[in-house]
Amino acid sequence: MSLSKQPANPLLRKLVASPYLDLIGAVLVLGVCVVRDFHETIFFQNEIQFGVPFSELLSYIGRGAYPLGILSTIGAIFSLLATRLVGRQRNLGNIFGVVTTINSGWNDFLFGNGSAAITYPVTFFLHTFAVARWAQGERIRKRDRRYYYIVGVGLLLGFALVFLGAKIFGGRLDLGFLSVVSLTFGLSLGANFANALKYEETWLSWIVYNIVQLIKNLMLANLANVVKYIFYLFNAGITLGDWKLNGDR
């Protein structure tokens, strides 16, 4: 009788695989969206309308309103679940990533991020690439020179695509907004490409990304998002440790 290989650090493996952490994360993201009243946001008559009472949403939707806030909330929850599944090395997480990218890209565009018309198709391609690579049996690999190239090119491409998209498609054009979007998008590009090749340091990239988001939301005094990104930071940290110490499932 063959025995399965025991992980070097069982606690990290249990945390990464814990359904209770999935539930905590999902409730946390839902709570953030409710606190920020995302569910009361619609796109109606070619403009965003905030603060629409929940009791009136069905009436607006019946008149052709797009439930921007509700779909954003659902997308955020599934994005979290996709991240958790990828951490468990399940390709279903990458598949979820493909679906949530379509939803998030459209919603971001409606929220005024004109560059989403360029940036999200790139993210869609990277998630699709990850699905194909993992389906072929991609295994966790150590950091090498190519990983640094991926991170560097991701940052450069992030700034180039965001500013180009804003110039072509419009939306918010203030420098501060575009710079923050460029930095976070560039970091996510490198992390998503590294994930497709299953680098251990994929999660180091996500740690840096979440730190940037945490600092930004601390500066904005957005406590709801601060709590959310603390959870994401914790999740990236334990997953990095699991991939490094325990390796492939």
User: Tens digit of pLDDT for each residue in 115-153?
Assistant: 788 889 999 999 999 999 999 999 999 999 999 999 999
- Spatial CB neighbours of 6, under 8 Å, sequence gap ≥ 6: none
2 lies in some domain: no
4 lies in some domain: no
Domains in the chain, number: 1
10 lies in some domain: no
Residue 1: band (very low, low, confident or very high) from pLDDT cuts 50, 70, 90: very low
9 lies in some domain: no
95 lies in some domain: yes
The position carrying tokens 């998503």 is 192
155 lies in some domain: yes
Structure-token pair, residue 75 = 């997308």
pLDDT over 60 at 3, yes or no: no
Using DSSP's 3-state secondary structure scheme, residue 48 falls into: strand
199 lies in some domain: yes
Among candidate residues 210, 197, 212, the one with its CA nearest the CA of residue 243: 197
Q: For residue range 75-127, what is the model confidence (pLDDT) as tens digits?
A: 889 999 999 999 999 999 999 999 999 988 898 888 877 778 888 999 999 99
Stronger pLDDT, 159 or 113, i.e. the higher one: 159
Among candidate residues 38, 76, 75, the one with its CA nearest the CA of residue 57: 38
Largest CA distance in the chain: 66
pLDDT score for 4: 56
- Spatial CB neighbours of 48, under 8 Å, sequence gap ≥ 6: 41, 42, 68, 110, 111, 112
According to DSSP, the residues that pair with 42 across neighbouring strands are 49
178 lies in some domain: yes
> Rounded to whole angstroms, what are the CA distances from 120 to 59, 95, 102, 157, 202?
31, 15, 8, 13, 19
pLDDT over 50 at 163, yes or no: yes
The distance of Cα 21 from the centroid of its chain, to the nearest Å, equals 17
Q: For residue range 179-202, what is the model confidence (pLDDT) as tens digits?
A: 888 999 999 999 999 999 999 999
Containing structural domain, residue 196: 15-246
